[in-house]
Amino acid sequence: MNSVSHSKKLLKEALNTSYDDLSQEVENILKDPTPLLFFSATKKVAGAFAWTSNALFTCVASHTKVGLKKHSEVINKDELEILKKVATNKAIDFDEIPLEQVFKLVQKEMVYSRLNPRHKSVLKCPKIKPTIVLVGGVFNELFNSASFERGTKTLQKKHGFNYFVPKIHGTKGVKINAQLLAEQLSEYMKDHPHEKLWILAHSKGGLDSLHFLKNNKNFAEKHIVGLSTIATPILGTAHTEHLFLKAIRFLHSFPKKVVKGLDIIAEDTQNSLSKKYSEGWFKKNHKELPQNIFYSAVALEAQWNESHLWMMLTKMLFYTNKPNDGIVLVEQARFPDYFPAINFGVIKGHHLIGARSSTYIQEALIEAHFVMLTYLKAI
């Protein structure tokens, strides 16, 4: 499967799934034409249009080579030797070859393998036992599926693991979502008492998960093997002090009747994301987090022309000359040095690569986690 075949597959999936989604919405409206269902249908139409148009553009680009970057980078001899060590569980001196470099190399190999099925990789993706818990970020519910669920679902069919998506609110603060996670994961474990859970969290979902782990330490130490974050502002973001979001907070200060229904990004959510709050919370509470589980983090970086259209807009709105993915600065998406965690470094990708409509090869990033966490004996 080269880049052309991959883009065709994504377009077919976008068309088929969008058709199924919209058909179901029409059926629901015909049965019970309520305003809520009309709103849901409008959201689905917008999501379907964004997905199919993005997939169509990528498909056309793959044929014309317009704006298309080659993903099929061949592994060189030195890189192959590193991969062989990972494949055979031989020790790697991370002072000589940084862990971040190894992770990026593993992901590169996974991407190449995805686009070139005849390629015989030295790496074999391990079968993992923990059930993956996907925790999305702000506005995740607008995208009709959890962050990275598209890739996780594909890998589930291939590797046979379980995954679970708890329902949280993208516009709510960490306290509310931490409680929702506690309730749903507790119920899940009642029905699946012999399973272990691995939380894979995107963006603010990582903050929600950290608060959940701290508040439910005994439960976590018994049932959870680890937390992996992707593009999570672990120590908060300075974007909450931007004039645009300050204006939203100002509107929130008015009586509700004046701005009835206006809840673009709730004030407690902005506070949860703020650098002042998150950095202070982590310094104060990091020793209260479960000690017998692993913590890992991946940061994303994209130039404005490599981003999703929405990410291009946010890069303009929240301009900074520091490396970022359109939303989160690279430096914010790492666990601090004083906390024992696995920082897998920075990979190319904008903040919305986990969305269902993204053409990003999500499977390669997830499989890279499988390989490296198994190599490090974390799972």
Average per-residue pLDDT in the chain? 80
- Find where tokens 């709105």 sit: 317
Residue 264, pLDDT above cutoff 50: no
Least confident of 98-112, 152-166, 237-251: 237-251
Question: 364 vs 32, which has greater pLDDT?
Answer: 364
Q: What is the pLDDT of residue 317?
A: 56
pTM of this structure: 0.78
Residue 131, pLDDT above cutoff 90: yes
Mean pLDDT for the stretch of residues 145-157: 92
Q: What is the pLDDT of residue 251?
A: 39
- Ranges of beta strands (E only) in the chain are 131-135, 163-164, 197-202, 224-230, 294-301, 342-348
Q: What is the pLDDT of residue 355?
A: 86
Q: Which amino acid is at 322?
A: K
Confidence of residue 325 (pLDDT cuts 50, 70, 90): confident
pLDDT tens-digit profile of 30-64?
A: 777 776 555 555 655 655 555 565 555 555 655 55
Residue 203, pLDDT above cutoff 80: yes
CB 172 within 8 A of CB 266: yes
Closest CA to 364 of 80, 156, 82, 151: 151
Cα(271)–Cα(286) distance, integer angstroms: 19
Residues forming beta bridges with residue 319, ordered by sequence position:
none
Mean pLDDT for the stretch of residues 101-125: 93
Q: What is the pLDDT of residue 363?
A: 96
Q: What is the pLDDT of residue 60?
A: 60
Q: What is the dihedral of CA 243, 137, 229, 350, to 10 degrees?
A: -70
Confidence of residue 262 (pLDDT cuts 50, 70, 90): very low
CB 308 within 8 A of CB 326: yes
Mean pLDDT for the stretch of residues 176-188: 97
